[in-house]
């Protein structure tokens, strides 16, 4: 294959291993999505809850901060000791990393809702629950979604490292490239779809965010 240049090798690779790359792409995507999804299920309620209690809020966010400072490879290894090899270890790591952006953004979003609006809601006789889902959540939605988008882009990068604990995904192709004598094309073959995935998911979430935005807040064109 040395008679081909890197770009030709890349095309040749995709031509002959297309199915495999697709499988790994899907797998990579699912691992990232699951981790972020769980983090959102846990993180958003935590964020809403701590927004009412400033002291607790600082405490929880500093814990999430500490998790974030651990290098991803180290966190992956620590979790591997407990959970063993395989895909669940990576999902757990992604989950932990996604907590901070999601909790923090939810917290900030909740606290930044204009107090006057909440007051008027209360004046209309809304219950706490109604204020939450009719006033606070819609108004902070864009900030929460920004947190999830951040988390997902981060997660796709972490999942690539997950290949080291045998989880599979596009990281497998990259690692094979680093081990091969002439692996430039292989590294690209794994790295390009990973980058592409980040860009696509970011765009998709942007669309979802727009779609979820309450009609009253949409800017008139």
CB 171 within 8 A of CB 82: no
Binding span for other proteins by CB under 8 A among 62-70, 139-147, 157-165, 212-220: 157-165
3-state SS class at 1: coil
Rg of the chain taking only CA atoms, in angstroms:
21
Interface region with other proteins, contact rule CB under 8 A, candidates 30-38, 114-122, 142-150, 197-205: 30-38
Binding flag, residue 13, other proteins (CB under 8 A): yes
Q: Is 41 in the site for other proteins (CB under 8 A)?
A: yes
Least distance to other proteins, CB of residue 215, Å = 28
Q: Does 145 bind other proteins (CB under 8 A)?
A: no
Measured distance CA(32)–CA(20) in Å, rounded: 18
Cα–Cα distance, 100 to 65 (Å, whole number): 6
Q: 192: how many CB neighbours lie within 10 A of its CB?
A: 14
CA separation for the pair 186, 179 (Å, rounded): 10
Would you say 3 or 219 has its CB closer to other proteins?
Answer: 3
- How many Å separate Cα 74 from the centre of its chain? 19
Stretch that binds other proteins, among 31-39, 104-112, 117-125, 191-199 (CB under 8 A): 31-39
**Residue 163 in the binding site for other proteins (CB under 8 A):** yes
Is residue 100 within 8 A of residue 106, CB to CB? The reply is no
Query: What does the binding site for other proteins look like in residue numbers (CB under 8 A)?
Result: 1, 9, 12-13, 16-17, 19-20, 26-27, 30-31, 34, 38, 41-42, 45, 49, 84-88, 91, 128, 163-168, 172-173, 175-176, 179-181, 185-186
């Amino acid at each position: 294959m040395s008679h081909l240049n890197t770009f030709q090798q890349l095309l040749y690779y995709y031509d002959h291993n297309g199915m495999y790359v697709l499988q790994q792409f899907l797998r990579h995507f699912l691992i990232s999505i699951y981790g972020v999804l769980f983090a959102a299920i846990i993180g958003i309620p935590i964020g809403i809850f701590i927004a009412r209690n400033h002291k607790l809020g600082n405490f929880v966010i500093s814990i999430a901060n500490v998790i974030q400072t651990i290098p991803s490879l180290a966190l992956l290894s620590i979790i591997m000791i407990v959970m063993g090899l395989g895909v669940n270890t990576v999902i757990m790591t992604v989950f932990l990393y996604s907590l901070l952006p999601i909790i923090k953004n939810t917290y900030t979003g909740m606290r930044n809702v204009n107090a006057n609006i909440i007051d008027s809601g209360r004046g209309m006789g809304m219950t706490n629950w109604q204020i939450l889902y009719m006033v606070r959540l819609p108004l902070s939605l864009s900030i929460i979604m920004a947190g999830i988008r951040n988390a997902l882009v981060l997660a796709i990068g972490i999942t690539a490292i997950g290949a080291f604990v045998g989880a599979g995904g596009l990281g497998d192709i990259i690692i094979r490239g680093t081990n091969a004598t002439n692996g430039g094309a292989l590294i690209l073959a794994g790295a390009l779809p990973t980058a592409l995935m980040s860009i696509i998911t970011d765009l998709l979430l942007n669309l979802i965010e727009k779609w979820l935005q309450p009609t009253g807040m949409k800017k008139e064109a």
